[in-house]
A and B are shown apart, each in its own frame.
Chain A
């Protein structure tokens, strides 16, 4: 069964304290791995799509990387406005384009 596991569940950082969020996945034939940011009471906001092992993408203080088993979202020198839940999702293979989501990592950045 296709599965996505995110860790840690929650992360508290001091402003400027860099860290990484993990997304482990089990899927036969990954078509794409997505990172989203979700603020309370809002819909997921697209950050990145990664398609193949070794791929990396960056946006401001965020950098996403992908291996054959997991993806990392690295946050460099975070600011309080980076506080949100970060969701990982995989696109299942063949004849389907639905996304399978993990439970997310709730990030809090304190000044």
Chain B
């Protein structure tokens, strides 16, 4: 069964450092998303991406965040200058025309 692959599974970074979280969506999907889940809290929408541009972003997705689909297969989330409160599980998801989302297993980001 097709799956969304995320790397790394766990990333530890120092406050103020840049991190890039990587995702390989399902190959024939057209819609790409990043969500995050702070420990013990809800899964929260960050950003959606379609046709090589951001289609929607949440209030959380400020200027410190950016997304890119550099080579037609990978989908990345960059956090420019990490803060302690960025510590969370980050989930990539992809969706096809028929609706429905497939989530990856997530990257646990720990900012120290």
Q: Report the minimum CB–CB distance from B58 to chain A (whole Å).
A: 8
Q: Which residue of B lies closest to A102 (CB)?
A: B42
**Any A CB within 8 A of the CB of B44:** yes
Query: Number of A-B pairs whose CB atoms are under 8 Å?
Result: 53
Flag B69-112 by CB within 8 Å of A: 1 or 0 each.
Answer: 00000000000000000000101010100011111111010000
Q: A98 touches which one: B4, B33, B102, B104 (CB < 8 A)?
A: B33
Is chain B's binding surface mostly helix, strand, loop or mixed? strand
Q: How far is the CB of B98 from chain A (nearest CB, A)?
A: 10
Instruction: From the candidates B4, B41, B43, name the one contacting A87 in the complex (CB within 8 A).
Output: B43
**Contact assessment for B99 and A32 in the assembled complex, using a CB-CB cutoff below 8 Å:** yes
Instruction: Indicate if the CB atoms of A97 and B43 lie closer than 8 Å.
Output: no
A98 and B55 CA atoms in complex are apart in Å by 10
| Interface residue from B43, B58, B89, B100 paired with A49 (Cβ < 8 Å) | B100
Chain A residues lying within 8 Å of B35, measured Cβ to Cβ, are: 99
**Residues on A with beta carbons closer than 8 Å to the beta carbon of B44:** 101
Tell me if A101 and B42 are in contact (CB < 8 A): yes
Q: Which of A43, A89, A98 is the most central at the interface, judged by chain B CB atoms within 10 Å of its CB?
A: A43
Give 3 closest A-B pairs by Cβ, nearest first: A43-B103, A98-B45, A101-B43
Task: Known pairs A34-B100, A34-B101, A43-B105; list 13 more (Cβ under 8 Å).
Answer: A41-B108, A43-B104, A44-B103, A46-B100, A49-B100, A97-B55, A98-B48, A98-B56, A99-B35, A99-B101, A101-B43, A101-B44, A102-B42
Tell me the A residues contacting B by CB distance below 8 Å. 32, 34, 36, 41-46, 49, 87, 89, 96-104
Instruction: Give chain B's interface residues, CB within 8 Å of chain A.
Output: 4, 6, 31, 33, 35, 41-45, 48, 55-56, 58, 89, 91, 93, 95, 99-106, 108
